[in-house]
């Protein structure tokens, strides 16, 4: 598939629309049900997808952090903090700015919702990608069973 920037569109989609791509990129070899997250269907959750023509090539989900999961950070307005989950880009398009554009679009949507901070558990291999986009590491490396090594990252929006 040839990547051409002008053909990519980003739009909101349903949680279930994200599952096949989450599965292919993030949960290979595991049941499709492992791609569903507890907060997927909440009214406050936002799912977006990047499309090249009609093909879904990237997804990201943004969930209101009501549980204060990033409590290790001080001076954050917890009422307006979101968590990024399930961000995935087709492997053959990684490194072609699909993820960058997807995340920037999501950040703008969150700003419109008065979100002040975005945090997530970043896979160890993805840390350089997020770092280039202004995210800061705020934890030691830890293991998520059956998924791999991660660290917490965040950014003030």
Please tell me the predicted confidence (pLDDT) of residue 1: 42
Domains and CATH numbers, the chain: 5-64+74-119 (3.40.630.30)
pTM (2 decimals)? 0.88
| 51-86 tens-digit pLDDT | 998 899 999 999 997 655 665 565 566 667 899 999
Are 47 and 56 in contact, with CB atoms under 8 Å apart?
no
For the beta carbon of residue 134, count every other beta carbon within 10 angstroms. Answer: 11
Rounded to 5 degrees, φ, ψ at 9 are -125, 155
Task: Determine what percent of the chain is predicted with pLDDT higher than 90.
Answer: 57
| 89-108 tens-digit pLDDT | 999 998 889 999 999 999 99
């Amino acid at each position: 598939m040839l990547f051409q920037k002008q053909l990519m569109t980003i739009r909101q989609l349903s949680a279930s629309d994200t599952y096949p791509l989450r599965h292919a990129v993030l949960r290979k070899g595991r049941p499709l049900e492992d791609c569903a997250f507890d907060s997927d269907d909440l009214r406050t959750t936002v799912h977006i997808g990047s499309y090249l023509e009609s093909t879904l090539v990237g997804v990201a989900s943004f969930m209101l952090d009501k549980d204060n999961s990033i409590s290790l950070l001080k001076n954050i307005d917890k009422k307006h903090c979101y968590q990024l989950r399930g961000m995935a880009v087709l492997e053959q398009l990684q490194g072609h700015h699909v993820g960058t554009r997807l995340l920037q679009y999501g950040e703008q949507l969150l700003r419109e919702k008065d979100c002040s901070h975005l945090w997530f558990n970043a896979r160890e291999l993805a840390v350089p990608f997020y770092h280039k986009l202004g995210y800061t590491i705020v934890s030691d490396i830890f293991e998520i069973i059956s998924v791999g090594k991660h660290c917490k990252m965040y950014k003030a929006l």
